[in-house]
Structure 1
Amino acid sequence: MATDITNDSDDHTDDPGRPPTADSATSAPSDQESSARGGMMRSSMVMAVGTMVSRVTGFFRTVVLAAALGTQLLGDAYNVANTIPFIINDLLIGGLMASVIVPFLVRRRKLDTDGGKATEDRLFTGAAVLLLVVTAAAILLARPLIQLYASDFLPAQAEVSVYLARFLLAQVFFVGMSGLISAMLNTRNKFGAPVWAPVLNNLVIIAVGVLFLLVGTGDSVETVTTADKILLGAGTSCGMLLQTVVLLGSLWRSGYRWRPRLDLRGSGLGEALRTAGWMFLYTLTTQLGFVITSQIATGANVASVESGADAGAGLTAYSYAYQLFQLPYAIIAVSLITVLLPQMSAFAVDERWDEVRAGFSRTLRVSALVLVPLSLAVSLYSTEVAVLLFAHGNTGDSDAANIGNVLMVMSLGLLPFTVFQLMLRVFYALGDTRTPAFLGVGNIAVHGALALAASWLLPSQLVVVGVAGGFMCSFLVGLLIGGSVLSRRLGGLDGRRIVGTLVRLYLATVPSVLVGWGVLELFRGWFGPGPAVNIGAPVVGCLLALPVFLLFARLLRVEELRSATDLVRSRLRRG
């Protein structure tokens, strides 16, 4: 969702900022070094597979929930209530883990005579107490919290959302503790459980959705029963409870034994948290952006119902489209960014700005090679894909088409979104968290202004599409401002080469988009609306458009395509 656009699954290593020395580059590795590299490769493989399975099950969870709850008033009631716990966690702990807590724990484990045990006990105890207090307060304040994000809910819809929230807000404690335990496991080089435990959470929620479809007696906010609401609220929270229990068991097996301690003075934790002020500001701006999105999207959905128009174009449609939109970024760009960040950090320490520029430019161009044609393909077939995936159970064809309309607009902003996230990592590599915070403020200003304009100017059914467009435009503005700042700091960003590659890539996609559009029109004319179009047009269109894109990219001398081709050929020969 829009609440989680910057939390990537970066690998945590003991010393990611240390470049190889001349000796290590020329001498043969010792048995111990070979064993360490083998362990790192195994950990990376476990994380890669676990992340992929987590993404797949998470996507299937979304499809099941869409079938069970639809995208209209009941879906919005559930999604608003289920998003708030994660927002609270982001504000309290989530945004601090990678930037403050993990480095702090690693440093304490190395420097403290007890291996950081006392610090971990203090942190674990303090977090547990804080999260318990915040969770209890959130449950008591369920009604005003729902009003904060959805003040335009109809009375019956608000009651359902508040009832669900009193169960779902229990997740504040479990989400926060899961994040802390995962960080403690990562500092022990235990990476498997943190990436696999969310799969169990997804499976539990999938089971809840299927059970609701089978035994639930209500599919609207007026007809949903108390038993249905308990199933949805308690069942969802049980998924996060199971995730936390599994992670706690893994931490126990790693040798950690918790001893409650509240003597925080002299622990160094306060100083560490003070350094995270700018990161907190950035997180706060992203959450404010979601408040704007939630208020306008839920209000538009209610307005559609009250006017007698088709509903379904609200927060739920926006959220499901956003999850689809993020998949290419998560699968393609995050892995490249994860590899790049430690390298850039090392180069920044040595003030090797030419290497930082080269790393940024290379990662952007390689990502664009895939994301440019993919974003246009997803935008072209967004409606067909959305209907194919979501038009089941209590989600009708028109509701799924609303998801597709939002996805179409979001997909056009996939590249600016990715470039902006990459720029943030460059700032972090430079040790700068202040500039990203100010960029976040700029983003929220653009997003908020355009979202409000959409709510005033567009019909209620299209407001959420306008909100999505404003969200994507905010990243375009952010990357232009961030790029100018980075260019001054680094003495340039290889801009001419980057722009040249992007222009060639977009020109190469023009013929392939025409081929894909032609296939879509032919399928619509031959078969009319239905599964044949929803499945056949995207598959056949992409199969025919891909070689056209590759041909024109080669004719236009896209350097990254040749590099990728040479890499594949070398791997095939080696295999």
Structure 2
Amino acid sequence: MSNLLRAGAVMMAGTLMSRITGFARTAVIAAAIGLGALGDAYSTATVIPVILFDLLLGGLLSSVVVPMVVRARKTDPDGGEAYEQRLLTLVTLILIGLSVAAVALAGPIIGLYGSAWREEQREVATTLARFILPQIAFFGVGALAGAYLNVREKFAAPMWAPVLNNLVVIAVAVIYIAIGGGSSAEGARDNELALLGLGTTAGIVVQSIVLVITLRRVGFRFRPRFDFNHSGIGDIARKGSWTLAYLGITQLGFMAITNLANWAGVRAAEANLPYDAGQIVYANAYNLFQLPYGVIAVSVITALLPRMSGYAHEGRFEELREEFAGGVRLVSAALVPAALLLVSLGPAITSVVFPFGNSSPQSAYYLGTVLQAFAIGLVPFSIFQLVLRIFYSLGDTRTPVALGLLNVVLNAGLGLVASLVLPPEYAVMGLALSFSIAYFVGSIVAWLVAARRVGGLDGPDVAFTITRMHLAALPMAAIALFSLFFASNTTGMTIPVSLAVIAVGAGLGGALYLAIAHWLRIPEVRSIVGLVTGRVRPGR
């Protein structure tokens, strides 16, 4: 576990800075365009390139490409160099074609996600999408370069490059505010939409260039190769077909949820609620929910997959089980308190981050309640993602399709029920809670299936450890909840009061969690504390 901890620590540093700047990016964008109709249009337009990229390549990277590149580097006479060059050539050609087609079909694509919108809002989203959809090609090249770096155990650049992306978009949002850009979809001017769209794309371009340059510095030399026959790349298509099915299922579910969230925004406007409650609220709450997952779990997952793939290839299932169980315990040691803090302090956090510019304090507070509903599912969601890597390391891309279908049916089904039953003020909260319930069930099912495949996953021991972590974190959550309740019912959630609530809940409560975890002798918590204190001591 110590090797995994050190590898994860390198990535966590870059990922932490990436998520902090991403946090700032989300807040500045919200201040610039608000959390209403224009925000819903921008949020929907920016997520489509990610969806289309995931459908083609994103999921294949972790499920198929990384294990096969690892295998090629071990077995090919040239160390996998030709294989990597062919793959990068093919991916670049395909993604350029996809980007061109997506721009041409921007209108119909937007229509799939904004069926409840008025025509003016749909036109604004389509205009933004035409500027943003070229990101697909840069997403792909950058992601593949990042995967090649990970295989070489060069983890820093893929984790730090998004910082530059976030800084570019923050600068764009500041310029938008400076030129007097508004938050109304109906009154949006063409030059404002061009600034938002092209500026957002520029961030991805910068991120990709940094990764390509870093890959060259570690010795990779790209030479276009078009000899795709008998290159082994066909195996990716065959093995990746199930991954594409998985992604297709999950994105259909995401499309359904996005439409429900956009419908919630329309209903909130029609009900004259004193706050915005649409897709951008759902998306921003989800992004904040992803912050601890991205800093902690993604770093560990990235370090785990190449190792687990190597163990699976060599038939060393005992080492695979140990690596996985250690990763779950390590992730949970940090995510359990993070989840309870988000459940306890969600409105306080968003009341500090979002009540600026075109985003009202009421909308910021409501966003925090949606974050609370998401946070319930933080640990199950992270465990589910970790379990999927077992199947991918085994070369099994079929089982995740069934698991993904289960999640989609639960999430979309519960979300539809929530949208039909709940009043407008609770609709987006209901969508977030549906997400949490779906991943709670999905993580249990996925664990049981994976355990059967590899001869057990130390389930009772892991469950016992996670239970102890929750027991250690409960006093922290109680302090945080009491602080939030006291402040919201006395002084109100102003920015200074919210900061005080966070300081008490996260500071005092966090210290109490560490003390109790130390007393309970939870080794993963003590390892994390030891690593951090060791790095900040003089002379280190």
Normalised by the length of structure 1, the TM-score is 0.83
Q: Indicate yes or no: 2:184 matched with 1:220.
A: yes
Tell me, yes or no, if the aligned pair for 1:409 and 1:469 is still in contact at 8 Å.
yes
Q: Distance in 2 between matches of 1:358 and 1:573?
A: 34
Q: Aligned-pair distance for 1:540?
A: 1.7
User: Tell me, which stretches of 5 or more residues in structure 1 are unaligned?
Assistant: 1-18, 20-36
Q: Distance in 1 between matches of 2:198 and 2:190?
A: 12
Give the secondary structure class of the aligned counterpart of 1:517.
Answer: helix
Q: Distance in 2 between matches of 1:316 and 1:395?
A: 11
Q: Which moved further from structure 2: 96-105 or 63-72?
A: 96-105
Question: Structure 1's 177 and 549: CA in aligned 2 closer, same or farther, altered over 3 A?
Answer: closer
Q: Which moved further from structure 2: 233-242 or 374-383?
A: 233-242
Corresponding residue to 1:205 among 160, 169, 184 = 169
Q: Which residue of 2 aligns with 1:513?
A: 477
Tell me, yes or no, if the aligned pair for 1:43 and 1:192 is still in contact at 8 Å.
no
Q: Which residue of 1 aligns with 2:288?
A: 324
Per-residue CA distance 1:74-110 (angstroms, 9 max, x = gap): 0010111111111111111222223333444455566
Q: Which residue of 2 aligns with 1:126?
A: 90
Q: Which residue of 2 aligns with 1:404?
A: 368
Q: Which residue of 2 aligns with 1:33?
A: none
Q: Aligned-pair distance for 1:406?
A: 1.0
Corresponding residue to 1:488 among 447, 452, 477 = 452
Q: Distance in 2 between matches of 1:45 and 1:513?
A: 26
Q: Which residue of 2 aligns with 1:464?
A: 428
Q: Aligned-pair distance for 1:46?
A: 6.5
Q: Which residue of 2 aligns with 1:387?
A: 351
Rg larger for: 1
Question: Structure 1's 226 and 116: CA in aligned 2 closer, same or farther, altered over 3 A?
Answer: same
Q: Distance in 2 between matches of 1:268 and 1:74?
A: 46
Per-residue CA distance 1:520-565 (angstroms, 9 max, x = gap): 344445533312321101212333334544565567x464478549
Give the secondary structure class of the aligned counterpart of 1:440.
Answer: helix
Q: Which residue of 2 aligns with 1:172?
A: 136
Q: Distance in 1 between matches of 2:75 and 2:323?
A: 32
Q: Which residue of 2 aligns with 1:61?
A: 25
Q: Which residue of 1 aligns with 2:242?
A: 278
Q: Which residue of 1 aligns with 2:196?
A: 232
Q: Distance in 1 between matches of 2:7 and 2:523?
A: 29
Q: Which moved further from structure 2: 378-387 or 115-124?
A: 115-124
Q: Alignment identity in percent?
A: 41
Q: Which residue of 2 aligns with 1:80?
A: 44
Q: Distance in 2 between matches of 1:221 and 1:562?
A: 48
Q: Which moved further from structure 2: 449-458 or 271-280?
A: 271-280
Tell me, yes or no, if the aligned pair for 1:301 and 1:311 is still in contact at 8 Å.
no
Tell me, yes or no, if the aligned pair for 2:67 and 2:309 is still in contact at 8 Å.
no
Q: Which moved further from structure 2: 351-360 or 441-450?
A: 351-360
Q: Which residue of 2 aligns with 1:290?
A: 254
Taking only aligned residues, the RMSD between alpha carbons, in angstroms, comes to 3.3
Q: Distance in 2 between matches of 1:183 and 1:361?
A: 24
Tell me, yes or no, if the aligned pair for 2:70 and 2:310 is still in contact at 8 Å.
no
Tell me, yes or no, if the aligned pair for 1:153 and 1:302 is still in contact at 8 Å.
yes
Q: Distance in 1 between matches of 2:240 and 2:486?
A: 55
User: Tell me, which stretches of 5 or more residues in structure 2 are unaligned?
Assistant: none
Q: Which moved further from structure 2: 544-553 or 73-82?
A: 544-553
Q: Distance in 2 between matches of 1:73 and 1:246?
A: 34
Q: Which residue of 1 aligns with 2:271?
A: 307
Within a 5 Å distance, the mapping from 1:331-350 to structure 2 comes to 331-342=295-306, 344-345=308-309, 348=312
Question: Structure 1's 181 and 484: CA in aligned 2 closer, same or farther, altered over 3 A?
Answer: closer
Per-residue CA distance 1:268-300 (angstroms, 9 max, x = gap): 211232122222222222212211111100011
Give the number of aligned pairs.
537
Q: Which residue of 1 aligns with 2:340?
A: 376
Give the secondary structure class of the aligned counterpart of 1:276.
Answer: helix
Q: Aligned-pair distance for 1:47?
A: 4.8
Question: Structure 1's 399 and 278: CA in aligned 2 closer, same or farther, altered over 3 A?
Answer: same
Q: Distance in 2 between matches of 1:551 and 1:238?
A: 45
Corresponding residue to 2:509 among 530, 545, 560 = 545
Give the secondary structure class of the aligned counterpart of 2:35.
Answer: coil
Question: Structure 1's 498 and 527: CA in aligned 2 closer, same or farther, altered over 3 A?
Answer: same
Q: Name the amino acid aligned to 1:127.
A: V
Question: Structure 1's 494 and 72: CA in aligned 2 closer, same or farther, altered over 3 A?
Answer: same
Q: Distance in 1 between matches of 2:509 and 2:214?
A: 47
Tell me, yes or no, if the aligned pair for 1:205 and 1:235 is still in contact at 8 Å.
yes
Q: Which moved further from structure 2: 218-227 or 326-335?
A: 326-335
Within a 5 Å distance, the mapping from 1:346-357 to structure 2 comes to 348=312, 355-357=319-321
Within a 5 Å distance, the mapping from 1:499-510 to structure 2 comes to 499-510=463-474
Q: Which residue of 1 aligns with 2:327?
A: 363
Corresponding residue to 2:119 among 140, 155, 162 = 155
Tell me, yes or no, if the aligned pair for 2:12 and 2:295 is still in contact at 8 Å.
no
Per-residue CA distance 1:215-258 (angstroms, 9 max, x = gap): 03432111111111111112212222233344444455566665
Q: Aligned-pair distance for 1:169?
A: 0.9
Within a 5 Å distance, the mapping from 1:436-475 to structure 2 comes to 436-475=400-439
Q: Name the amino acid aligned to 1:545.
A: G
Q: Name the amino acid aligned to 2:460.
A: R
Tell me, yes or no, if the aligned pair for 2:150 and 2:302 is still in contact at 8 Å.
no
Tell me, yes or no, if the aligned pair for 2:277 and 2:363 is still in contact at 8 Å.
yes
Q: Distance in 2 between matches of 1:433 and 1:59?
A: 33
Give the secondary structure class of the aligned counterpart of 2:230.
Answer: coil
Tell me, yes or no, if the aligned pair for 1:369 and 1:560 is still in contact at 8 Å.
no
Q: Aligned-pair distance for 1:113?
A: 6.0
Tell me, yes or no, if the aligned pair for 1:146 and 1:161 is still in contact at 8 Å.
yes
Question: Structure 1's 147 and 508: CA in aligned 2 closer, same or farther, altered over 3 A?
Answer: same
Q: Distance in 1 between matches of 2:532 and 2:138?
A: 47
Q: Indicate yes or no: 2:231 matched with 1:267.
A: yes
Q: Distance in 2 between matches of 1:48 and 1:554?
A: 22
Q: Name the amino acid aligned to 1:506.
A: H
Question: Structure 1's 544 and 154: CA in aligned 2 closer, same or farther, altered over 3 A?
Answer: same
Corresponding residue to 2:35 among 63, 66, 71 = 71
Tell me, yes or no, if the aligned pair for 2:8 and 2:299 is still in contact at 8 Å.
no
Q: Name the amino acid aligned to 1:438.
A: A
Q: Distance in 2 between matches of 1:427 and 1:170?
A: 32
Q: Distance in 2 between matches of 1:347 and 1:102?
A: 14
Tell me, yes or no, if the aligned pair for 1:553 and 1:561 is still in contact at 8 Å.
no
